[in-house]
């Protein structure tokens, strides 16, 4: 079953006289519950694709449809509510709020939504991610791997349908990187959350249900598409 699709999605930047097609007419249908890896060289459009699919940016043209909702027909306010409730995003640089503790960071999306925390669920996440002893620490007192695990908990706090992760292990050493990826796969399989992961690591991509390779803003290869 399809959870999201994009149609002729493009993002064009004007660089002086020239136009840069960060994303060029990309159409994809994403399966619910899947683990989709996005690969490609630096500058091929991976982050742009993730930002557009997750409502973090606006396309120059094209559409993104999540279930029955066309993302970019919503007002900015409606879009941020949808994004907060249905999508989680994990960045390479963690992006935790430095003045808040681990626990406060995790709780932030729930509080922004004026909802009561599902404490049992959050505790399950905290144990799954192994961050119970970091909850009262500020990000500055955590290792990179710990910060990234807190940021995964934050991304999952509202029980999103889709988790987007943009090179989440890019700043981590090999061991913490592997731990973070194991956790993301676990979240995908055990919680049934669709995972869209940008990675340079071919070993990681191999474990995905589908690998989409970008080149110059276009889909150069897609293992999920059946050949005619
Ligand atoms: P990737 O994540 O695969 O490294 P990006 O999606 O970040 O690639 O970028 C794709 C292309 O779009 C690159 O050529 C990049 O330089 C360009 N680009 C991205 N963001 C901007 C921007 N804000 N202004 C101008 N060009 C941009
Ligand atoms: Mg990128």
Q: Residue 206's domain is classified under what CATH number? A: 3.40.50.300
Cα–Cα distance between 203 and 44 in angstroms, integer?
A: 20
Query: What is the Å distance from ligand 1's center to 47 Cα?
Result: 7
Query: What is the Å distance from ligand 2's center to 47 Cα?
Result: 4
The contacts of residue 162 (CB under 8 Å, 6+ apart) are 3, 4, 30, 54, 66, 86, 87, 88, 193, 194, 195, 196
pLDDT tens readout for residues 106-155: 999 999 988 888 999 999 999 999 999 999 999 999 999 999 999 999 99
Predicted model pTM:
0.95
List, as one string, the DSSP characters of 146-197.
HHHHHHHHHHHTT--SEEEEESTTTTS-HHHHHHHHHHHHHHHHHS--EEEE
pLDDT grade for 225, boundaries at 50, 70 and 90: low
Question: φ and ψ at 115, to 5 degrees?
Answer: -110, 160
CA end-to-end distance (rounded Å), the chain: 20
Domain contains 118: yes
Domain contains 28: no
pLDDT at 226 over 70: no
Ligand 1 touching residue 10 (CB < 6 A): no
Ligand 1 touching residue 26 (CB < 6 A): no
How many separate domains does the chain show? 1
Element of type H or E holding 85: helix 76-86
Residue 191 belongs to domain spanning: 35-58+68-211
Task: Give the number of whichever ligand sits closest to the CA of residue 93.
Answer: 2
Cα–Cα distance between 28 and 15 in angstroms, integer?
A: 27
Atom 12 of ligand 1, nearest CA residue? 22
Six-digit token pair at 11?
């993002």
């Amino acid at each position: 079953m399809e959870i999201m699709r994009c149609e002729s999605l493009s993002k064009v930047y004007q660089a002086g006289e020239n136009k840069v097609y960060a994303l060029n007419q990309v159409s994809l249908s994403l399966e619910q519950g899947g683990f989709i890896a996005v690969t490609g060289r630096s500058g091929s459009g991976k982050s742009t694709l993730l930002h557009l699919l997750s409502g973090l940016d606006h396309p120059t043209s094209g559409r993104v449809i999540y279930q029955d909702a066309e993302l970019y027909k919503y007002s900015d306010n409606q879009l941020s509510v949808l994004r907060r409730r249905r999508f989680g995003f994990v960045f390479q640089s963690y992006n935790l709020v430095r003045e808040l503790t681990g626990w406060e960071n995790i709780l932030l999306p729930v509080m922004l939504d004026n909802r009561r925390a599902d404490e049992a669920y959050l505790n399950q996440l905290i144990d799954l991610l192994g961050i119970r002893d970091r909850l009262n620490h500020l990000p500055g007192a955590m290792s990179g791997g710990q910060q990234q695990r807190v940021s995964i908990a934050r991304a999952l706090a509202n029980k999103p349908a889709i988790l987007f992760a943009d090179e989440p292990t890019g700043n981590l050493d090999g061991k913490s990187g592997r731990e973070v990826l194991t956790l993301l796969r676990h979240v995908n399989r055990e919680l049934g959350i669709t995972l869209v992961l940008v990675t340079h690591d071919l070993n990681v991509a191999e474990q995905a249900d589908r690998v989409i390779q970008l080149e110059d803003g276009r889909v150069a290869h897609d293992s999920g598409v059946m050949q005619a």
